[in-house]
Amino acid sequence: MACCWRAILFPSAISATFIADPAQRQPWEIHVNARGERFLREDHPTHAYHEHALAKQPGQRFWVVYDNAMARQAPPFLLGMKPEQVRDAFAGDHPMFATAGDLNALAAKTGMDPRRLRHSVSTFNAAQESRSVDPFGREHRPLLLREAPYFAVRLSGWTVISFAGIAVDGRLRVLRTDGTPIPNLYAAGEALGAGATSGSGYTNGALVTPALAFGRWLGQRALQVEPGAAG
Q: Is there a domain that residue 12 lies in?
A: no
Q: Supply the range of the domain harboring residue 197.
A: 173-221
Shared domain check, 183 and 113: no
User: Residue 226 — pLDDT band, cuts 50, 70, 90?
Assistant: low
Residue 141 has pLDDT above 90, yes or no: yes
For residue 191, the one-letter residue type is: A
User: Residue 106 — pLDDT band, cuts 50, 70, 90?
Assistant: very high
Q: Is there a domain that residue 60 lies in?
A: yes
Q: How far is CA 218 from CA 18, 77, 186, 206, 209, in A?
A: 40, 45, 8, 19, 14
SS3 string of 45-73?
CCHHHHHHHHHCCHHHEEEEEEEHHHHHH
Q: Is there a domain that residue 163 lies in?
A: no
Shared domain check, 177 and 149: no
Residue predicted with more confidence, 130 or 229: 130
End-to-end CA distance of the chain: 32
Q: Is there a domain that residue 215 lies in?
A: yes
User: Residue 117 — pLDDT band, cuts 50, 70, 90?
Assistant: very high
Q: Is there a domain that residue 6 lies in?
A: no
Q: Is there a domain that residue 166 lies in?
A: no
Shared domain check, 179 and 152: no
Shared domain check, 138 and 82: yes
Portion of the chain with pLDDT greater than 70, in percent: 84
Residue 144 sits in a domain whose CATH number is 3.90.700.10
For residue 2, the one-letter residue type is: A
Residue 109 CA to residue 151 CA, distance in Å, equals 11
The whole-number pLDDT of residue 5 equals 36
Residue 158 CA to residue 137 CA, distance in Å, equals 26
Q: Is there a domain that residue 23 lies in?
A: yes
Q: Is there a domain that residue 162 lies in?
A: no
User: Residue 195 — pLDDT band, cuts 50, 70, 90?
Assistant: low
Shared domain check, 41 and 99: yes
pLDDT in tens, 5-52: 344 454 556 678 899 899 999 999 999 999 999 999 999 999 889 988
Shared domain check, 75 and 116: yes
Shared domain check, 143 and 177: no
Give yes or no for a contact between 65 and 32, defined as CB atoms under 8 angstroms apart.
yes
User: Residue 53 — pLDDT band, cuts 50, 70, 90?
Assistant: very high
Decide: pTM greater than 0.75. Answer: no
Buried/exposed code over 167-176 (b: 16+ C-beta within 10 A; e: otherwise): bbeeebbbee
Give yes or no for a contact between 103 and 120, defined as CB atoms under 8 angstroms apart.
no
Highest mean pLDDT (candidates 39-43, 91-95, 167-171, 189-193):
39-43
Number of domains in the chain: 2
Shared domain check, 51 and 97: yes
> What beta strand segments (E) does the chain contain?
17-18, 30-32, 61-67, 78-79, 97-100, 150-156, 173-175, 181-186
The whole-number pLDDT of residue 219 equals 83
